[in-house]
Amino acid sequence: MLQANMQLDAKGLACPMPVVKTKKAMTDLAEGQVLEVLATDKGSKADLAAWASSVGHQYIGTVEDEDILYHYIRKGNNEPEVEKAFEQTVALKDLDTRGGMILDVREAAEYAFGHINEAKSIPMGELESRLEELDKNEEIYVICRTGKRSDLAAQLLAKNGFTKVFNVLPGMNEWNGILTKEI
């Protein structure tokens, strides 16, 4: 349904199997990648969300369509928090006073479950190959969930000759404004 790195079909399976299979499938994903789980067990939604948070994965959300639940989970990062390296930053709360464009570098599924209306989506992993979509003369405000991916994205843009780049801190996890959804 939404873009994901891997799909797991757990349709027709009863609890505990959707979580058991998801746990196993997550071991094949790289950190930051998104798994799409198809399930028909209604209880899988609450259980996957609770399980994901208990083991450090990010439960992105669930879409329900014709009795099938599509769950999206992003593999967590257990590494310690690293210092943000990109120096040009702007506070999230000041974002609406700025012009330019907002670049959302989270995964497509995360973007679909809620983003700032005018933000453009280019997932971090695709950024290097899609630079021509961006305008070097425009101010670019890079945002992700916490500020970590956007830090790396801002560095990547700077390395490629973009000068008017700002990392937005913190990220979407503290955004209280209107969310636009694609689901």
Partner 1 sequence: MTVSKWTAAKIARKVIDKKELFILDVRNADAFADWKIEGHKFDYLNIPYFELLDGVEGILPQLPEDKEILVVCAKEGSSVMVAEMLSEAGREVAYLEGGMKSWSSYLEPIKAADLENGGELYQFVRLGKGCLSYMVISEGEAAIFDAVRFTDVFINFAKEKGAKIKHVFDTHLHADHISGGRHIAAETGAFYYLPEEDAAEAVFDYTPLTNNLNVKIGASQINVSALYSPGHTIGSTSFMIDNKFLLTGDILFIDSIGRPDLAGLAEDWVGDLRDTLYSRYRELAEDLVVLPAHFMIIDELNEDGTIARRLGDLYKENHGLNIEDEAEFRRTVTDQLPPQPNAYEQIRQVNMGKLNPDHGEQTEMEIGPNRCAVR
Query: Catalytic positions, please?
Result: 15
Short-list 140, 74, 152, CA closest to 108:
74
Nearer to partner 1 by Cβ, of 11 and 84: the residue is: 11
In the complex, the smallest distance separating the C-beta of residue 7 from partner 1, rounded to whole angstroms, is 20
In the complex, the smallest distance separating the C-beta of residue 48 from partner 1, rounded to whole angstroms, is 8
| Residues engaged in binding partner 1 (CB under 8 A) | 14-17, 19-20, 23, 42-43, 46-47, 50-51, 54
What contacts 72, CB < 8 A, 6 or more positions away? 2, 4, 34, 35, 36, 37, 59, 60, 61, 62, 63, 109, 110, 113
Two tokens, residue 182 = 């694609």
In the complex, the smallest distance separating the C-beta of residue 167 from partner 1, rounded to whole angstroms, is 35
Nearer to partner 1 by Cβ, of 16 and 125: the residue is: 16
Nearer to partner 1 by Cβ, of 20 and 85: the residue is: 20
Short-list 5, 2, 3, 13, CA closest to 48:
13
